[in-house]
Amino acid sequence: MLGDNPKYKKSADQTHQTPSHLMIEEISHAELVIARIFDFYRGTFLSLQQYDAIVIQYTDQDTCIQLVSRLRCHFDQAIYLKPVFIIKDHGTLPESLADITDGQLSRADDLTLVGSVALRIRDRCAEINLSLDYNYEELIVFSFLAFCYTRDKEQVRPRISQRGIYYPILSDLMYHNVNQRHFTAILDKMEREAFLDGTFDRATYVCSECLGDYLLYREVCPHCHSAHLKSEDVVHHFRCAHVGPLSDFRVNGGHGTLECPKCQHELKHIGVDYDKPATMHYCLDCNASFQNYAMKAECCGCGHDQEVEYLIKKELKIYSLTEKAINTLKSGRIQTKEQSKEIEDVLPWHLFVKTLDFEQSQNPSDMSHMVSLRFNDFPSLIKQVGEENKYKLLSEIVQIIKTTQQNFDFRGIKLPRIYFSLLQTRHNEAEIISQRIVFLINHLLNDNLRLKRVMLTAEVLPMNGDLVQTILTEIQSVP
Ligand SMILES: [Zn+2]
Ligand SMILES: [Zn+2]
Ligand SMILES: [Zn+2]
């Protein structure tokens, strides 16, 4: 009730000796039982489970954020969805804390806000159903959506924090991610599956290996990749047209007068006697000189050191929940159709084997062939394009293959191999087609994706009675 003084009491199992980092003060307010703790609370979260709301006494910003973040990434619904308020008597909460809490109290004894907000959240929580058989990723998706829904959050926008790009709740949930999957991949997936609507907010570049956004950039020598560089202006003497580095024009290597090393005239006025048309860079390790240096970016997350053209451009979006997301929360069922990712125009492996078995019984072996295309180092290829682009890349390769086949041909994938049939095609012709495909794929990788060092081998196999066995042995021989 409004104006009621909250009644404080220590929770039942606590005595006067309870140290403040374990203390839970129990407060009754309206129809709620509220726990009050300090932001340096180190007790178990399970002992907070029974309360309707938690109010946290602010002492330090980082300590406070850490505690709320730990609460929010707990997988027990009764804990991560708990209404949480911060008692801070002056100043406002930083955005990163306001995003993951439910309000700020300026006085410990004014719990009016807690009453109204906590009750509304409790009603919302009652609408959603948490299924018990979620896998790790589904739990993350569900927890994120559930938090947004129970808080009536119309938009979730990216923030920039000390940790890099930060999405409220989702980043907290992914912080201890054992699978090293970045939260941007989960956001993309949630948008593809229509749980979220995204609108562009800003763009950034992320590590091609782990999608991490904490990158250290440096200029390097394009020849030996050393960062030990020196830069110098280039001087152009109008009178004799001599062009050379500025240091060549310095008299006795000093800093004063400039004199042309070719015609020995003094250079007085820039724009009148001479100009500086360019800057040259010199590598102090390999002595190369060049006008354009290369850029490398080292990922602080995984240590991967990459040339910047391999970084992945990421759009950071502002997200809002869709109708589908809300229905999913209410039903508790998340469809994870994406788990068995299928590439268009490729037969599922068991059907591929069946089709092959059928076709080889129909076709004379000298008239039909199968090409086995193998990437010699597929993991490093994926490293270069990024795990999230793997299916897109494979789809493009499959489309290249498809255009050179006839319409009754078929394809199958068992990485690092791609198989495709060339039915009613003689051996010579099959060799030419397979070499052409290798050429086209290399062209795609080198020119469009600027990938280097991709090794592809193609082997033309006759469709005789042993082919199924040959292929099944082949796919077991290489991991
Ligand atoms: Zn000169
Ligand atoms: Zn160098
Ligand atoms: Zn990385």
% of the chain with per-residue pLDDT over 90: 41
Quick one: DSSP state of residue 256?
S
Cβ 308 vs Cβ 320: under 8 Å:
no
What is the residue type of 196?
L
Q: How far is the CA of 287 from the centre of ligand 2 (A)?
A: 6
Q: How far is the CA of 224 from the centre of ligand 2 (A)?
A: 4
Name the pLDDT band for 13 (thresholds 50, 70, 90): low
Query: Of 251, 270, 291, which closes a domain?
Result: 291
3-state secondary structure of 4: coil
SS3 content of the chain, % helix, strand, coil (to 5): 35, 25, 40
Name the pLDDT band for 471 (thresholds 50, 70, 90): confident
Q: How far is the CA of 228 from the centre of ligand 2 (A)?
A: 8
Q: How far is the CA of 187 from the centre of ligand 1 (A)?
A: 62
Query: Span 338-346, mean pLDDT?
Result: 66
477 vs 187, higher pLDDT: 187
13 with 123, same domain: the answer is yes
409-454 residue pLDDT tens: 999 998 889 999 998 889 999 999 999 999 888 888 877 676 765 6
Q: How far is the CA of 279 from the centre of ligand 1 (A)?
A: 19
**Residue 154: pLDDT over 70:** yes
Q: Is residue 472 part of a domain?
A: yes
Name the pLDDT band for 132 (thresholds 50, 70, 90): low
Query: Span 88-104, mean pLDDT?
Result: 90
Dig out the tokens for 2 from the structure: 């409004």
Q: Any idea which of 24-28, 185-189, 401-405 has the lowest mean pLDDT? A: 185-189
Specify which of 36-50, 181-195, 455-469 reaches the highest per-range mean pLDDT.
Answer: 36-50
Residues 6 or more apart whose CB falls under 8 angstroms from that of 113 comprise: 85, 103, 105
Predicted confidence at residue 238, as pLDDT, reads: 95
Q: Is residue 447 part of a domain?
A: yes
287 with 357, same domain: the answer is no
Q: How far is the CA of 218 from the centre of ligand 2 (A)?
A: 14
Q: Is residue 176 part of a domain?
A: no
450 with 380, same domain: the answer is yes
Q: How far is the CA of 262 from the centre of ligand 1 (A)?
A: 5
Q: Longest Cα pair distance anywhere in the chain, in angstroms?
A: 95
How far apart are the two ends of the chain, measured CA to CA in Å?
Answer: 67
Nearest to 343 by CA among 437, 419, 292: 419
Q: Is residue 241 part of a domain?
A: yes
Predicted confidence at residue 193, as pLDDT, reads: 85
3-state secondary structure of 436: helix
Average per-residue pLDDT for the chain: 85
CATH number, domain at 379?
3.30.70.270
Q: How many residues does the chain have?
A: 479
Tell me the ligand closest to 226's alpha carbon: 2
31-81 residue pLDDT tens: 899 999 999 999 888 889 899 999 999 999 999 999 998 898 887 878 889
Tell me the ligand closest to 260's alpha carbon: 1
Name the pLDDT band for 333 (thresholds 50, 70, 90): confident
Q: How far is the CA of 78 from the centre of ligand 3 (A)?
A: 34
Query: Span 223-243, mean pLDDT?
Result: 94
Query: Of 90, 112, 127, which closes a domain?
Result: 127
Predicted confidence at residue 362, as pLDDT, reads: 77
Cβ 333 vs Cβ 398: under 8 Å:
no
**Residue 98: pLDDT over 80:** yes
Name the pLDDT band for 477 (thresholds 50, 70, 90): low
392-402 residue pLDDT tens: 888 889 999 99
356 with 433, same domain: the answer is yes
86 with 15, same domain: the answer is yes
% of the chain with per-residue pLDDT over 70: 89
361-387 residue pLDDT tens: 777 667 889 999 998 888 878 877 777
Query: Span 126-133, mean pLDDT?
Result: 77
Q: Which domain holds residue 59?
A: 7-127
Q: How far is the CA of 273 from the centre of ligand 1 (A)?
A: 9
- pTM for the model stands at 0.60
Strands (E), 121-239: 159-161, 164-166, 196-206, 215-220, 229-237
Nearest to 54 by CA among 31, 75, 77, 80: 80
381 with 455, same domain: the answer is yes
Tell me the ligand closest to 267's alpha carbon: 1
Kindly write down the DSSP assignment for every residue of 67-135, as one continuous string. HHHHHHT-S-HHHHTS-EEEE-SSSPPPHHHHTTSS-EESSTT--HHHHHHHHHHHHHHHH----S---
Tell me the ligand closest to 298's alpha carbon: 3
Predicted confidence at residue 337, as pLDDT, reads: 47
39 with 108, same domain: the answer is yes
Q: Is residue 318 part of a domain?
A: no
Cβ 313 vs Cβ 133: under 8 Å:
no
Q: How far is the CA of 379 from the centre of ligand 2 (A)?
A: 29
Query: Span 268-274, mean pLDDT?
Result: 92
Q: How far is the CA of 276 from the centre of ligand 2 (A)?
A: 24
Q: Any idea which of 140-149, 153-162, 181-190, 313-322 has the lowest mean pLDDT? A: 181-190
What is the residue type of 206?
V
CATH number, domain at 97?
3.40.50
Query: Of 270, 291, 312, which closes a domain?
Result: 291
Domain count, the chain: 3
**Residue 349: pLDDT over 70:** yes
Q: Is residue 222 part of a domain?
A: no
Q: How far is the CA of 280 from the centre of ligand 2 (A)?
A: 13
Name the pLDDT band for 30 (thresholds 50, 70, 90): confident
Q: How far is the CA of 296 from the centre of ligand 2 (A)?
A: 14
